[in-house]
Structure 1
Amino acid sequence: MRSAVVTTEGDRIRWVELPGREHARVYVHGLGATSPAYFAETAAHPLLAGHRSLLIDLLGHGISDRPTTFDHTLEAHADALAEALTSAGATGAELVAHSMGGSVAVVLAARHPHLVSRLVLVDANLDPIPPRPGAVGSSGIAAYSEQEFLAGGWQEVRDRVGPQWWSTMRLAGREALYRSAVHLARGTAPTMRELLRDLEIPRTYLLPEDVGPLLGADALTEAGVAVVPIPDCGHNIMLDNPDAFASAVAAALGQE
């Protein structure tokens, strides 16, 4: 386990690092998750093993610190991640990023382009999402006020998301979980989709085949983003179909 101070208050991001050849690969989890749990099998897969790999946890999640004063906007997450990667000497990294982590990775690549050489987004959020009371995920969490969420709304979320997601969600600070969900639902200006279209690095977007065509896929493809459906999986592609996921990531990173 490695770590880096990423705020002026001394808060640390931590990651599990696997040694190997450069360029580094950085795996970034989604809301309420943790990268070692979601990406260990991927990083060790025969198609992908051998590169220096950082399975990193965003501030407020997993094994990273849980400051209650951090605002957890997508921009703040991206800047904190940039501090960690700079400290780790992981410039020009290949990012593989899931869900909210994909949103953060897009913002990171736009704000700190020297840190990212390739981007693989895994069913990532590209657009704002209206808050929806009772929904599973960020839109449901964002429907609470912070006071409501901290006072007991988190228990309702726990019961909605089920034991697998809660097993990692419970590791997140409650302020971090709430604020990250709110800002993920709110998105960025320009939107993550617009930022993604304007990037000039190789970009791939992986999505579950069964959910149907990706909204705005033609415009993304025209902008140079490879949109790749993966069969036999849901939102957690790397857990549901690890071999197909590893194969698609390897192709996106130029290994096949």
Structure 2
Amino acid sequence: MKEYIVDKMKNKMRYHDLPGEDTPILFIHGLGCAGSFDYPEVAAQIDLINHRRILVDLLGNGFSDKPDNYSYTVKEHANYLYNFVQDLSLNKFIIFAHSLGGAVALELANKCRDNLEAIILSEANLDKSIKGSSSYEFGTCKEEDFVNGIFDEVISETSSKNSMWIATLSVCSSTAISRISKSAVAGGEPSWRKILYSLKCKKTFIFGENSLPDNDQTELKKHMINIEIVKSAGHSMAWENPKGLAEAIKRGILYGRGL
């Protein structure tokens, strides 16, 4: 694992940088997750093995630093990732992002359009979080209440239902989770959906088979966005079918070639 100094306070983001000769892929995880936990098995699949694969743990998550004085907005995550890809000299790269990480990815994509070969999103946030989503439930709580009690209650009550997610959520900063969730509820300006539609690179949106039907499947096709489906998986497709997800990512990378 490597580390990258994010700011003048010497806060560090930690990441895996797996070698490969093909276009680098930057993996951005979702709410309460970590690239170091979610994506090693996906990145190790034969379809992606020749790509350089960069798996980040966003600040406040996984093995990265968790400062309480950081804003943790979607836009701020994108800002330091922009500096990160510049410092790595990624002149051409691919972004893969999942769930709320998709909003971070789209803010990042908006800042480095000329460097982007493709953006591949799996069940990503394109609009403000809505009632029923974890980010909405977390983001509509008072931060003090969430940090001082609700976070621990979520860990306790959800551990038997979704033990993989709780394994990563439990080591996240409760402050970070509260603040990025509030950012998700507020949404982006322009909206993340508008950013996606405006990008000129190759664009793919991935659904888990068990998450369908979804109205966005039809809506995204209208905007010429490639749709891929991972069989035998739902929202947590990186854990449920890592091989199928890797294959879907590769199809997104190859989309449009020879046409």
- Structure 2 counterpart of 1:244, one-letter code: G
- Cα distance change, pair 179–98 in 1 and its aligned pair in 2 (3 A): same
In the alignment, what sits opposite 2:223? 223
Greater alpha carbon shift after TM alignment, 104-113 vs 3-12: 3-12
Residue 88 of structure 1 is matched in structure 2 by 88
Q: Which residue, out of 151, 172, 192, partners 2:148?
A: 151
The answer to whether 1:207 aligns with 2:204 is: no
Contact 2:32 2:177 in 1 (8 A): yes
Matches within 5 A, 1:162-241: 162=159, 163-241=163-241
Structure 1 stretches of 4+ with a deviation exceeding 6 A read none
> Once the 2 structures are TM-superposed, how far is the Cα of residue 210 of structure 1 from its aligned partner?
2.9
User: Could you report, residue by residue, the CA deviation over 1:87-114 in whole angstroms, capped at 9, with x for unpaired residues?
Assistant: 2222321111111111111111012224
SS at match of 2:39: helix
Q: Distance in 1 between matches of 2:191 and 2:214?
A: 16
SS of structure 2 residue aligned to 1:206: strand
Which structure 2 residues correspond to residues 26-41 of structure 1 after superposition, within 5 A? Answer: 26-41=26-41
Question: Do structure 1's residue 249 and structure 2's residue 249 form an aligned pair?
Answer: yes
SS where residue 253 of structure 1 aligns?
Answer: helix
Query: In structure 1, the residue corresponding to 2:120 is in which secondary structure?
Result: strand
Q: What is the identity, as a one-letter code, of the residue corresponding to 2:103?
A: S
- Listed as ranges, the gaps of 5+ residues in structure 1 are none
Unaligned runs of 5+ in 2: none
Structure 1 residue matching 2:126: 3-state secondary structure = coil
Secondary structure of the corresponding residue to residue 139 of structure 1: helix
- How far off is 1:180 after superposition? 1.0
Q: Which residue matches 1:127?
A: 127
Cα deviation 1:157-198 (Å, max 9, x = unaligned): 212432321211122112111101111222212211111111
User: Is 1:116 paired with 2:116?
Assistant: yes
Q: Which amino acid aligns with 1:181?
A: S
1:5 equivalent to 2:2? Answer no
Give the counterpart letter for 1:118 in structure 2: A
Aligned residue in 2 for 1:140: 137
Percent sequence identity is: 27
- The structural deviation recorded for 1:25 is 1.1
CA positional deviation for 1:10: 2.1
Root-mean-square deviation (Å): 1.8
Tell me, yes or no, if the aligned pair for 2:122 and 2:205 is still in contact at 8 Å. Answer: yes
User: Size of the alignment, in residue pairs?
Assistant: 253
Instruction: Say if 1:13 and 1:84, in contact at 8 Å, map to a contact too.
Output: no
- Secondary structure of the structure 2 residue equivalent to 1:85: helix
SS of residue paired to 2:251:
helix
Structure 1 CA distance for aligned equivalents of residues 251 and 140 of structure 2: 38
| Deviations 1:21-45, CA, capped at 9 Å, x for gaps | 1421111111111112111111110
Contact 2:32 2:165 (8 Å CA) reproduced: yes
Report the secondary structure of 2:205's partner residue: strand
TM-score, normalised to structure 1, is 0.92
2:156 match: secondary structure: helix
